[in-house]
Homo-oligomer: A and B are copies of this chain.
Amino acid sequence: MTHNLLDYPGKMHAGGYRVTPQRKAILDAICEAGRRVTVEEITLRLRKKSPTLNRATIYRNLLFLQRMHLVNGAGDGKDKRFEIASVEPHHHLICRECGRETGLDRTRVERLKRAIQKESRFTIDDDHLCFFGICRRCASGANRKSQASAKQRTGWKPRRKHASS
């Protein structure tokens, strides 16, 4: 239970918020997944242990947990994914093509954050940034077929001027 390291009850109480079984269940579900999960996956996991937990409660708490910095979310629409916020700030490089994540040396990013904060006195409170782009493999065209479904999923076919078979 990674999230226990975060002392989430303490953080919630400190803000005047309450620790409910629903919130615990949601944190558990994300934690047990052990990777970045979509709302759908979270909902499915919850069906088992907490079948009565309401849809609206999930959405509300996902927002809440993000605000509390207990959970990090990144991505667009249905592809948005959540994970337990790590004690250690860390960042991701996510490939738009194949969806794979690459680690990212955090010192560099933290340095940028500090520099920005120093200059503009704006505090970036995100300890978990996601940068989207194209990974090495996809850039080289190495894995065209293997995971090229990203495009299809959003409904656009790749370029193919009229030319038979």
State the A residues within 8 Å of B (CB): 15-17, 60, 63-64, 67, 73, 76, 93, 95-96, 102, 104-105, 108-109, 112, 115-116, 119-126, 129, 131-136, 139, 154-156, 158-161
Selected contact of A116 from candidates B67, B108, B125, B132, CB within 8 Å: B108
Give 4 A-B pairs besides A16-B160, A121-B136 with Cβ atoms closer than 8 angstroms.
A60-B155, A63-B154, A67-B156, A124-B131
A122 vs chain B, min Cβ distance (A): 5
- Taking a contact as CB atoms under 8 Å apart, the answer to whether B105 and A122 are in contact is no
Selected contact of A96 from candidates B125, B131, B135, CB within 8 Å: B125
Selected contact of A125 from candidates B63, B132, B155, B156, CB within 8 Å: B132
Which of chain B's residues have a CB closer than 8 A to the CB of A126?
131-133
Which of chain B's residues have a CB closer than 8 A to the CB of A67?
154, 156
A122-B93 in contact given A15-B159, A73-B76, A159-B15 (Cβ < 8 Å): yes
Which of chain B's residues have a CB closer than 8 A to the CB of A129?
131
Which of chain B's residues have a CB closer than 8 A to the CB of A115?
108
Give CA–CA (A156, B129) in the complex, Å. 25
